[in-house]
Amino acid sequence: MGHFLLHRLLRTFPAVWGVVSVIFIISRLLTQEQVLNHRFGEGETGSHVASPAQRQLAELQIRQRLGLTAPLFYFSAAPPPVAGLALRWQWNGAHNQYHNWLRQLLHADLGVSFRDDQPVVSLLLQSLRYTLPLTIGAALSCLALAWLLTPRLGRKSRGRSLLLTSLYLIDAAPLFVVSLLLLLLLANPEMVALFPAYGLGREDPTATWLVHFQTMAYHLALPMLTLTLASLPALVVQLDAALNHELRADYVLTARAKGLPDALVIRRHVLRNALIPVLALLTELLPSLVAGSVVVEMIFSLPGMGRLLAAAAAAHDYPVLLGGVLTVALVRVWGQVVADWLSFQADPRIRLPL
Amino acid sequence: MRRFLLGIASVLCLVACSPSPSHQSSTIRIRWPRDPENLDPLVAPNSHAVEILNLLHCSLLSIDYNQKEFVPWLVEAMPVVRQRDSLTLVTYQLRSEASWDNGLPVLASDVVFTLKVMNCPGLPNEASRAQYGFIQNIEPDPADERRFTLSFRGRARELVHSSGDYPILPEHQLDPQKHLRRVSLAALRADTVPNKRRQQPDITAFVQRYQRANLNRQPENLAGCGPYRLVDWQTDRYVALQRKANWWGDRVKAAPPQLQAKPAAIDYEIIADEATAVLALRRGDIDIYPMMPAKDFLALRQNKAATQLSFYTADSYEMIAAGFNTRQPELQDARTRQALSYLFDIPGLIQASQQGMAYPSVSLVSPAAGESYHDSLPLLTFNTQRAQDLLRSAGWQQQAQGWTRRVANGTLQHLKPSISYRAGNPAYEAIALQFRTAAAKIGIPVQPRPTEASLFTEHLRTGNVELYLQLLSGNPFTYNFTPILHSQSIGWGNFTGFGTAASDQLIEAIATEGDPKRQAHLLRKFQYLLRQECPLVVLYFLQYRLAATNRLTNLHATGIRPGYEAAAIQSLPAGTIQP
Amino acid sequence: MNHLFTAGTIYRWLALLWLTGLLLVALLVPLFPLPYAPDTTDLTAITAAPFTHPHWLGTDPLGRDLLAGLLFGARTTLLISLPAALLATLLGALVGSIAGFWGNYELRLSLNYTLAALGVLGFCAVVRGPSPVLFSAASAVATGLILLAALTTRFGYHRTFPVPFDKALLGLIALLTSTPLLILVLALAALSTASLSGLLLVLTLTYWPGAARLVRAEVLRIRALPYIESSRVLGLPALRILWHHIRPNYWHTLRATFPLSVATLIGLETTLSFLGVGLPPETASWGRILASVRLAPTAWWLILWPTLAILITTLALRQISAHHRPG
């Protein structure tokens, strides 16, 4: 099995390279106004503003410093011929933006941010430090809740339809509404101020790890609850459908006839067969573990990955954006491999596509 | 289920006994919506970064928010200005008390160094180079090392202010080997041609040293001569500043306001969401919430439970304006533009998008500007009848398929303008929809075009817009409309494409006029011209709103960003105010 | 039909009633005597509370009437979100089942003809010129290559190669789902302006990978079952196996997720509109009403009405789509 995993994981690299290359080209083809423009006051009527000539020069200098003056790719479109046939492309040589970027990438260097010249790798790691505890905590509690709820799903009861309806309700409300409601209910001095309203408190280098953990847990509890609630409906609805399909199978009847309690039938026998479509869903969960959640991070003011990438996208800070895409894409293709492997574990009859 | 609940309960217990954050009452905590991102004094990409840099560093001149004028900061007095031919010479005298943290005095050589750094190739100084590149030369006084003269071309008044409006950097810290002394400012200024950077070892050595300091993210590596130093900066979380125990400003006798720094510490808390920020203010997690949205401000002010808060407003110099791209054939004549401007229901929009907390103006000059404001021009009214009359006089005819007119070369024009604006801003959307509703009433179909920020800028520059909405900002000190309405700025800041010889001349005259009375006269003439030509209409000026806890005193809301003066704020000791 | 009035059937009738009502509203809403159009701003009534004349369901922070917004929003839902969800699910099911069934090795193409086709494509991609010249040159190349392929086949050189459909699908999914929404949107905005058909395309394109992944996983499981093995041994055509023997086994999973995907797509459409593509700002939609809560967090009616509408629609779709569950 180790062989399979290793083999498949290695084979994901070309896919990731392809994904990131395509996005690199697309993003660099887009307008760069934002990168150049945010440093000049637009629409200022009072103070002295640089003249158009000075600004043009400054833009050129910024482009040059950021490495945006070189041609984009190895070849670019050639001017159309007047008559007859001609090559559509012209060769630019190895001195191009893509080549430089790829060479850096091979040295595990994702470049520096357009905004503050910081290495993208350290920016990503910094954000993951806050995002991973949040998303992994939420995913675990989501799975735990789903595990607890499965026996209730198998039976046709009032409780089940009530549960499903309320899950649909949570799903119909946008995430920011759910987060704001929780915030206004549980962190409001006028209601119940159980949790802090925002942020992660002060960084205290002298504190012990236990105190660190405590402050982190205290500040992350509410965002985690929000994320759990938000991701629960899709999971449970899926599980419910699969369970109901499986419960009609003969082996369930046999198991019940043996006198096994319902919860045991479901957890021991049915769940395993119902898991496969759910595993596909879980692969979607994995990338969002590293991608974070913009809405939750915005509302609770957490410096996570979602916010980093959203800010980078808004400012067209492409190195950071591409670093984020690379991370997410890696986790996504690896998640796919792991899901294939897990579905084999759940049902060994599945042949693994190598 | 029981096990799960037990688990939750234990987590809650763990959480409940976690230490609650303590905070000293002498710290002022201010809410910011976003990170300053980059604190390199040469870059300062946004107003937050500028605010912090102004606490870490000193410039030659500063702004007195109450008097609304420039005042001396690092210098003894406002500079002496002389004219020699086409050159303007500005002589400054540095304060004798001014010193760096290690006791070394701030000298003219530091100013020379700062100018050289701002022009040094290889540093991220493109913006400051474009902004302050007009300063041609600096001559230190050989007799007095605290005295120097700057020279530049042009006579505009704001150039004098601009010449003293950048943080002064310490030469002994950034360039102890005095590399830059061996290169002249003129040589550095000439070194602008891309791809031809001169490989001088002195410049390279200095640039490397500067880059190693990593001032973008670690501004604590550079101790400026400002009253505060940066203690801690966690991206997207907070920036913490601490008052220097031994700041040179304390030694100035009868120190003017700009040389006083009251709070012992200032924390900028970064809270992205507005609703969360309001909650944090109510909980007492922050002390000041500047630039508050009107709806939250009003709701909080009417809330009886929020007794521990005070509320401030100030008329700002920021305005929302609708521009007409005069290069579009349908919008080429002034009458059509005038007609369309009668379709904005300005009082209604002020009520709708700013909850009444904004004020109308006849033109680009704030109504608070006294004589400069053309008060005999009538405010724009919402008048569909007038609009129709003007359209007819511009040659438009209302037909079944809308308003059309035949122009000189025989083509048929349809009046169906689009209105572009930056997507995601509700104020713009309100304006666009109101305009659309009003225009639909008289049979003009209007297409709102919300556009993503970067794409919007590109469309503005290339002239791929018809009507557009834009935020313009002014200030109370100087008037210079060159960037937005001079014909030389077409495609750069002048997106209307407007500009006649007469208007260009008037704009230049306003910028260079030194006498306030004559300038007011020129400004009135300009406002009249704008109303006639109508390349853009000002819809309203914004108000800055600020809510703060009661324990803060000497807090002045200002109409200039950031809307308050952090260093002036004093706080009563905790316990003197009963909530 | 012997238990016409059990609880289950009543729910089903209610669901049908709601969906028919929705359809009728969407079709007939321009004929309704509404006092306000959905895109008209009434600046005298900003964020007005419901149950007052003339805005019976209240207004949003720009002064638009909510009743009109909800009714016209039903039309948008029917024109955009439902078709997009349907298209995305079907596309995902199609692609997912092909990838799951044939995998990387079992779908084989003729090498000769593929090379010929690639040659023609490559020629067009490398060379350019005035279109008549280019067209005639390309036709000549195409004829030559196809003749060559036919000849080599004739003389016994005939090879096939497997199409790695599964790998291609996974790669494509990785590409689509890793692209930040803003980049996708900007790229599209540079190509075209906001329009209904464009929005439908974007929504379908961004949403199909979920269904595809789900179906692929299910097909992987089902095709390993003995009865599929035996039907393959029997030599049944692949399409027949896919349609008659495999599809019924994953259909229930898709049906369960479909109603939820409608709700998700309404949310996605709002995000796109917020970014400046997607729906033009004068088009009413339920998602847009929900988004306006950001401007007035205390206006509960802005959350309640659209959430209710989305919730009831999702539940109704669920009732209808779950129609042959036993009991």
pLDDT in tens, C150-191: 888 888 887 888 888 888 888 888 888 877 777 777 777 666
Residue in chain B closest to C278 (alpha carbons) equals B450
Could you tell me which residue, B539 or B25, shows the higher pLDDT?
B539
How far, in Å, are C108, C156, C164 from residue C159 at the CA level?
10, 9, 16
CA C220-C221-C227 angle, to 5 degrees, is 105
In the predicted structure, residue B20 carries a pLDDT above the cut 90: no
Given a contact cutoff of 8 angstroms between Cβ atoms, the answer to whether A268 and A274 are in contact is: no
Given a contact cutoff of 8 angstroms between Cβ atoms, the answer to whether A133 and A216 are in contact is: yes
Residue in chain A closest to B134 (alpha carbons) equals A50
Crossing angle between the packed helical segments B334-341 and B516-533, to the nearest 10 degrees: 90
Residue C5's pLDDT is 54
CA distance A61 to A40: 14
CB within 8 Å: B235 and A57: no
* A129-143, B16-30, B328-342: the lowest-pLDDT one: B16-30
How far, in Å, are B65, B66, B73, B96, B298 from residue B76 at the CA level?
19, 20, 7, 8, 43
Instruction: Indicate the length of chain C as a whole number.
Output: 327
% pLDDT > 90, chain A: 15
Q: Name the residue among A175, A145, A181 with its Cα closest to residue A163.
A: A145
The C-side interface with B (CB below 8 A) comprises 39-41, 43-44, 46, 61-64, 182, 185-186, 189-190, 193, 274-277, 280-282, 292, 295-298
Predicted structure pTM score: 0.89
Q: What tokens appear for B118 in the block?
A: 């701002």
For residue C309, the distance in angstroms to the closest alpha carbon of chain B comes to 24
Burial B422-449 (b: 16+ CB within 10 A, else e): bbbbbbbbbbbbbbbbbbbebebebbbb
Q: Which of C43, C283, C295 to mutate to test the interface with B (most CBs of B within 10 A)?
A: C43
Enumerate the residues of chain B whose CB falls inside 8 A of the CB of residue A174. Answer: none
DSSP string, C207-221: HHHHHHHHHHHHHHH
For residue B333, the distance in angstroms to the closest alpha carbon of chain C comes to 28
Residue A40's pLDDT is 58
A96–C contact, CB cutoff 8 A: no
CB within 8 Å: C274 and B423: yes
For C304, which DSSP code? H
Gap between the terminal Cα atoms of chain B: 43
Q: What tokens appear for A126 in the block?
A: 């910094």
Residue A123's pLDDT is 93
CB within 8 Å: C174 and A336: yes
Q: Which of B123, B273, B372, B539 to mutate to test the interface with A (most CBs of A within 10 A)?
A: B273
CB within 8 Å: A242 and C253: yes
Per-residue pLDDT band for C324 (boundaries 50, 70, 90) equals: very low
DSSP string, C39-108: T---TTSSS--SSSSS-TT-B-TT--BHHHHHHHHHHHIIIIIHHHHHHHHHHHHHHHHHHHHHTTTS-E
Enumerate the residues of chain B whose CB falls inside 8 A of the CB of residue A32. Answer: 454
Identify the H or E element spanning B349.
Answer: helix B346-354
Neighbours of B140 (CB within 10 A): 16
Q: Name the residue among B501, B569, B512, B505 with its Cα closest to residue B264.
A: B569
Q: Which of C135, C178, C188 to mutate to test the interface with A (most CBs of A within 10 A)?
A: C178
CA distance B243 to A324: 38
* B60-69, B226-235, B518-527, C122-131: the lowest-pLDDT one: C122-131
Q: What tokens appear for B36 in the block?
A: 């300053």
Residue B511's pLDDT is 87
Question: Which sign does the torsion angle of CA B172, B174, B175, B180 carry?
Answer: negative
CA distance C134 to B137: 61
Given a contact cutoff of 8 angstroms between Cβ atoms, the answer to whether B288 and B27 are in contact is: no
Given a contact cutoff of 8 angstroms between Cβ atoms, the answer to whether C102 and C95 are in contact is: no
Per-residue pLDDT band for B14 (boundaries 50, 70, 90) equals: low
In tens, the pLDDT along C259-308 reads: 878 878 887 887 777 776 678 888 888 888 888 887 887 788 988 899 88
Residue B244's pLDDT is 95
* A31-40, A118-127, B474-483, B500-509: the lowest-pLDDT one: A31-40
Q: Is B505 exposed, middle or buried (0-12, 13-18, 19+ CB in 10 A)?
A: exposed
Neighbours of B187 (CB within 10 A): 14
Could you tell me which residue, A58 or B179, shows the higher pLDDT?
B179
CA distance A317 to A319: 6
CA distance C59 to A317: 38
Q: What tokens appear for B419 in the block?
A: 């209105």
% pLDDT > 70, chain B: 93
Per-residue pLDDT band for C76 (boundaries 50, 70, 90) equals: confident
- Tell me the pairing of strands B418-422 and B447-451: parallel
Given a contact cutoff of 8 angstroms between Cβ atoms, the answer to whether B79 and B160 are in contact is: yes
Residue B579's pLDDT is 39
Crossing angle between the packed helical segments A2-29 and A318-346, to the nearest 10 degrees: 150
> What domains, with CATH codes, occur in chain A?
126-304 (1.10.3720.10)
In the predicted structure, residue C218 carries a pLDDT above the cut 50: yes
CA distance C253 to C256: 5
CB within 8 Å: A240 and C130: no
Given a contact cutoff of 8 angstroms between Cβ atoms, the answer to whether B168 and B58 are in contact is: yes
Chains touching chain A, criterion 3+ CB pairs below 8 Å: B, C
Q: Name the residue among B336, B294, B342 with its Cα closest to residue B542.
A: B294
> What residues 449-488 of chain B have any CB closer than 8 A to a CB of chain C?
449-452, 454-455
Listed in order, strand segments (DSSP E) in C155-202 are 160-162
Closest to B429 (Cβ–Cβ): which among C43, C281, C296? C281
For B372, which DSSP code? G
Beta bridge partner(s), residue B467: B324, B419
In the predicted structure, residue B130 carries a pLDDT above the cut 60: yes
Given a contact cutoff of 8 angstroms between Cβ atoms, the answer to whether A35 and B462 are in contact is: no
Range list of H helices, B359-425: 384-393
Q: Tokens 């000497």 belong to which residue?
A: B554
CB within 8 Å: C183 and A26: yes
Given a contact cutoff of 8 angstroms between Cβ atoms, the answer to whether C58 and C299 are in contact is: yes
In the predicted structure, residue A155 carries a pLDDT above the cut 70: no
Question: Which sign does the torsion angle of CA B295, B447, A26, A29 carry?
Answer: negative
Enumerate the residues of chain B whose CB falls inside 8 A of the CB of residue A303. Answer: 234-237
In tens, the pLDDT along B139-171 reads: 999 999 999 999 998 887 788 988 999 999 999
In the predicted structure, residue A38 carries a pLDDT above the cut 70: no
The mean predicted confidence, pLDDT, of chain C is: 84
Chains touching chain C, criterion 3+ CB pairs below 8 Å: A, B
For A92, which DSSP code? -
In tens, the pLDDT along B34-85 reads: 999 899 999 888 889 999 999 999 999 998 888 888 999 999 999 999 998 8
> What residues 216-255 of chain A have any CB closer than 8 A to a CB of chain C?
233-234, 237-238, 240-242, 244-245, 248
Q: Tokens 């009868």 belong to which residue?
A: B254
Closest to C315 (Cβ–Cβ): which among A168, A284, A350? A168
Beta bridge partner(s), residue B543: B315
Given a contact cutoff of 8 angstroms between Cβ atoms, the answer to whether B498 and B485 are in contact is: yes
A170–C contact, CB cutoff 8 A: no
Closest to C276 (Cβ–Cβ): which among B349, B352, B450? B450
Residue A34's pLDDT is 63
B22–A contact, CB cutoff 8 A: no
CA distance B284 to B286: 5
Per-residue pLDDT band for A293 (boundaries 50, 70, 90) equals: confident
Q: Span B338-350, mean pLDDT?
A: 95
Q: Tokens 């324990």 belong to which residue?
A: B551
Residue B19's pLDDT is 47
At B536 the three-state DSSP class reads strand
Closest to B295 (Cβ–Cβ): which among C43, C62, C295? C295
Highest mean pLDDT: which range of A35-49, A333-347, B151-165, C2-16:
B151-165
In tens, the pLDDT along C91-118 reads: 999 999 999 888 888 888 888 888 889 9
DSSP string, B149-218: EEEEE---HHHHHHTT-SPPPPHHHH-TT--GGGS-HHHHHHTTSTT-----HHHHHHHHHHHHH-TTT-
CA distance A69 to A94: 14
Residue in chain B closest to A303 (alpha carbons) equals B236
Q: What tokens appear for B184 in the block?
A: 């002249």
For residue C292, the distance in angstroms to the closest alpha carbon of chain B comes to 9
The mean predicted confidence, pLDDT, of chain B is: 89
Q: What tokens appear for B335 in the block?
A: 């009458």
Residue B198's pLDDT is 59
B197–A contact, CB cutoff 8 A: no
Given a contact cutoff of 8 angstroms between Cβ atoms, the answer to whether C272 and C194 are in contact is: no
CA distance C36 to C68: 7
Per-residue pLDDT band for B567 (boundaries 50, 70, 90) equals: very high
Q: Span C194-221, mean pLDDT?
A: 85
Residue B195's pLDDT is 47
Residue A352's pLDDT is 59
Q: Span B313-326, mean pLDDT?
A: 94
Q: Span B372-398, mean pLDDT?
A: 93
Residue A117's pLDDT is 84
Could you tell me which residue, C24 or C131, shows the higher pLDDT?
C24
Q: Is A260 exposed, middle or buried (0-12, 13-18, 19+ CB in 10 A)?
A: middle
Listed in order, strand segments (DSSP E) in B407-531 are 412-414, 418-422, 447-451, 467-473
Given a contact cutoff of 8 angstroms between Cβ atoms, the answer to whether C275 and B426 are in contact is: no
Q: What tokens appear for A83 in the block?
A: 């008559």
Q: Is B122 exposed, middle or buried (0-12, 13-18, 19+ CB in 10 A)?
A: middle
* A81-85, A206-210, B386-390: the lowest-pLDDT one: A81-85
Q: What tokens appear for C123 in the block?
A: 């020629």
